[in-house]
């Protein structure tokens, strides 16, 4: 994996969605998760204005620093630079990895959302540090990306690329062991943590399954 993989020192990748926080303040939910041991958070709030996103990113950067966790910003390379995030997470319609790298420099991390073997290989070729791949199982938020990949396709992709792969889509406490057995670096999730009554306890349980 070389030193690229070594920079990815987390195996639970938490993605934000304040709409799933059931009226709780998103920062409180994230801090709870960080107390449970989350080491990487992706700020992904598609419905906020640039200013709102920037303010939230600043607050989140402060909290993640306290817990020595990495912060990634979805899509917005400018905001990632402005708050000195650890990197960005790019979708298939975002900046290319190559262009993002020019802006961010070599020290920052770039993750890419992929939904097929083809997209996974392309992201690696362009210089992504890691990818999320899914949906592995059915999940409403990822339904538009087509049929779930399933564990076998996940395994194939993990064997084909040489950068860390995080499984995404329908990740639940009950299926983590099966997913980890496919050889992934870890799992990326939203609802299982954000919706949890007690995110701290949920994260601890998830990390136990992942280990």
Q: Show which residues are catalytic.
A: 44, 113, 142
Largest CA distance in the chain: 43
C-alpha 123: how far from its chain's center?
Answer: 15
H-helix or E-strand spanning residue 47: none
- Residue 206: closest CA among 189, 183, 182: 189
**What is the token pair recorded at 29?**
């939910």
Residues in the chain: 211
Q: Are 85 and 102 in contact (CB under 8 A)?
A: no
């Amino acid at each position: 994996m070389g030193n690229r993989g070594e920079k990815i020192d987390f195996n639970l990748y938490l993605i934000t969605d304040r709409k799933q926080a059931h009226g709780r303040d998103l920062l409180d939910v994230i801090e709870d998760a960080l107390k449970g041991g989350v080491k990487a958070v992706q700020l992904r709030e598609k419905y906020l204005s640039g200013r709102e996103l920037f303010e939230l990113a600043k607050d989140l950067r402060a909290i993640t620093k306290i817990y020595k966790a990495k912060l990634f910003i979805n899509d917005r390379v400018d905001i990632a630079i402005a708050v000195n995030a650890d990197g960005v997470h790019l979708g298939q319609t975002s900046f290319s990895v190559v262009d993002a790298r020019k802006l961010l420099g070599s020290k920052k991390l770039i993750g890419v959302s992929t939904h097929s073997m083809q997209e996974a290989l392309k992201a690696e070729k362009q210089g992504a540090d890691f990818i999320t791949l899914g949906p592995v199982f059915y999940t409403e938020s990822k339904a538009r990306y087509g049929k779930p990949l399933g564990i076998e396709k996940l395994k194939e992709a993990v064997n084909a690329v040489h950068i860390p792969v995080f499984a995404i889509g329908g990740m639940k406490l009950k299926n983590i062991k099966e997913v980890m057995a496919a050889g992934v670096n870890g799992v990326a999730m939203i609802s299982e943590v954000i919706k949890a009554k007690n995110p701290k306890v949920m994260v601890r349980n998830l990390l136990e399954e992942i280990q």
